Structure 1
Amino acid sequence: MSDLSVSFEFFPPKTEAMAEKLWASVEKLAPLKPSFVSVTYGAGGSTRERTHATVEKIVQNTDLPVAAHLTTIDATTSEVDDVLRSYWDAGVRHIVALRGDPADGVGERYVPAPDGYAGAAELAAGAKRIADFEISVGCYPEKHPESPSFEHDIDLLKRKVDNGATRAITQFFYDNDVYERYVEMVRKAGIDIPIVPGIMPVNSFRALTRMAKLCNATVPARYEKLFGHLDDDPETRQLVAATVAAEQCHDLAERGVDHFHFYTLNKSELTYALCHMLGLRPKA
């Protein structure tokens, strides 16, 4: 599996202690030479300044290619365009274009901002008008929770590709058959960009089940048996989580997947262990 590549996702820290933890994770994972690292953007643009500061620090202090997340929520097109220009000026050449979730929380009805971009497809087109950004977008193997059908989801993905997207990163999932069926549907629709699996190792079972409900991701019943009583036993949970996630990644690799996007939650240990088990080693 020496031909595998990876990318890592971080979120902007809220406190100095969290910033130190994030930077320790970046330094631990950087020697694995990821294809890129991405930095998330809070609901309603709530982390705009912290996201930009985190992106800028990684750009200035490492040689890692950085992808900055950007959403359409609660911002006019001119405000979003200003952010895009500031990213380009800071040396960012890769954007993860997302519709985003309402500031009131996932599950609230999405309403485009007045004079704002209508969604991720329009944001992708806007980014391309500003500069020649590489554009990644999101996709949902189990269907977006607000979407009426898979056909609707795939039509949206098609529009994103038409507007410049060259990669789609999935929401996390735990059933590889679900991912494979989704890729088959996407290919039948004539979409040929990479559909990169988003991998979320179990860092907290309580938090995972809460997130899964919000984003329409299925947590297998066996995970309750594996993790249900381990939130207060982090050392055992981490061992079990590494084993389970490695099994998932190895199976995906056998099905032809050659790139994995890890949701690190700003923790390096599990992600580093998974990369090691996939055969990735620090490069001199």
Structure 2
Amino acid sequence: MSPPAKSAHTVGPPASEPYPALSYELFPPRSSSAAETLWQTIRELEQTSPDYVSVTYGASGSNRDTAVELLGRLLAETSLKPLAHLTCVGNTREYLFNLVDELITLGVRGILALRGDQPQDSSGHSELVYASDLVQLIRTAERRRTAHLCAGRLAVGVAAYATKHPESPSFDHDVEALLAKQAAGADFAITQVFFFPDHFERLVSAARRAGVEMPIIPGVMPLTSVRRLDRLSELAGIEMDHRLRDRLAAADDDGARRRIGVQATVDLANAALDAGAPGIHLYTFNEHAAALDVLDNLQLRRPPIPGGLGRTA
């Protein structure tokens, strides 16, 4: 008896592991001089062929016009794919629905859905209370534009916290919130800055146990500035790496400080990748030099750039 003929749909060898994702965060400029610096950064980062760049959105939409303008220019003048931040605090449902529609019309195909910081004076009315509510609104707006979106889907990201959110009652509550965002329709999460590798590993482990299946991407900041470390620790309640801070403060000059900080950032990113992170998201603060130093030393495996163009390590 002859063996059965092979089906045309026989499963072949497993595909190779995907390349780690690479992305950067940018924020809209506040002045003409800041815009000039930002666009120098954009052109430098563009050469690394990232998967996307995120564009921040001010509290209660305070910089809506400059954010939308930057998104439009990125789409029209660069090869970069923008991920538009969107916050729901202080905004009405109608306002947010119209803004999502505007972003889709502009050509944006990715949105990072955030609750946003609560205004200290409690001004403004928020019809959406949580980021999960915003994710649901984005999905509702998306369904009205299926014909314009080809496959009918936006990529929707959310925030995750490797250390407890400063307003959260517990770390476990943060994990439950992340699960709720996934249930609302989120596709992936990007973490807030963290200073210790085991914090990221703990988050991923707890999230997986809770049922979170979407990718969790570590957000990494070039750890080269004592002032920035202090500010993040104070404002975001992130546990400080005092040993690193002391080393940076004791460095002989800016060059030595930068070498120490870049290596610490690379070590942190590599630890996250070794723990299974699907990629790295770099908070640039609109400065390309330190981010590119990190990328060069990280030696992140990336797909070849068509035509052999772009920056090489």
Instruction: Give me the TM-score of the superposition, normalised by structure 1.
Output: 0.91
1:122 counterpart residue number = 133
Percent identity of paired positions between Structure 1 and Structure 2: 33
Distance 1:142 1:264 in 2: 20
Deviation at 1:10, TM superposition (A): 0.4
Deviations 1:224-261 (A, max 9, x none): 2211255x943332222111111212222222223000
1:11 counterpart residue number = 27
In structure 2, relative to structure 1, the CA distance for the partners of 1:142 and 1:115 (3 Å cut) is closer
2:254 counterpart residue number = 234
- Matched residue SS, 1:165: coil
Deviations 1:191-237 (A, max 9, x none): 1111110001124212321222221211112022211255x943332
2:188 counterpart residue number = 167
1:268 counterpart residue number = 288
Matched residue count = 278
5 Å matches for 1:79-158? 79-104=95-120, 114=125, 116-131=127-142, 132-158=153-179
Deviation at 1:77, TM superposition (A): 0.8
| Contact 1:76–1:113 (CA under 8 A) maintained in structure 2 | no
Distance 1:83 1:34 in 2: 26
Mapped pair 1:179 → 2:180: no
- Matched residue SS, 1:242: helix
Distance 1:228 1:194 in 2: 35
1:25 counterpart residue number = 41
Distance 2:179 2:18 in 1: 31
Q: 1:259 aligns with which of 275, 279, 295?
A: 279
| Contact 1:201–1:241 (CA under 8 A) maintained in structure 2 | yes
Kindly name which structure, 1 or 2, has the bigger radius of gyration based on alpha carbons: 2
| Contact 1:73–1:112 (CA under 8 A) maintained in structure 2 | no
Which amino acid is the alignment partner of residue 188 of structure 2? R
| Contact 2:222–2:294 (CA under 8 A) maintained in structure 1 | no
Any unmatched runs of 5+ in structure 2?
1-16, 143-152
In structure 2, relative to structure 1, the CA distance for the partners of 1:205 and 1:145 (3 Å cut) is same
Distance 1:196 1:4 in 2: 10
Deviations 1:14-73 (A, max 9, x none): 011111111111111112111110000112221111111111111111121110000012
Any unmatched runs of 5+ in structure 1?
none
Deviates more, 1:201-210 or 1:145-154: 201-210
Where relative contact order (Cα < 8 A, 6+ residues apart) is larger, the structure is 1
Deviation at 1:278, TM superposition (A): 2.2
Distance 2:18 2:253 in 1: 34
1:189 counterpart residue number = 210
- Matched residue SS, 1:228: helix
Distance 1:112 1:178 in 2: 34
Distance 2:123 2:183 in 1: 21
- Matched residue SS, 1:118: coil
Distance 2:43 2:265 in 1: 22
In structure 2, relative to structure 1, the CA distance for the partners of 1:238 and 1:78 (3 Å cut) is same
In structure 2, relative to structure 1, the CA distance for the partners of 1:15 and 1:229 (3 Å cut) is farther
4+ residue runs over 3 A deviation = 111-115
Which amino acid is the alignment partner of residue 258 of structure 1? P
2:150 counterpart residue number = none
| Contact 1:112–1:119 (CA under 8 A) maintained in structure 2 | no
Mapped pair 1:68 → 2:88: no
Instruction: Give me the TM-score of the superposition, normalised by structure 2.
Output: 0.83
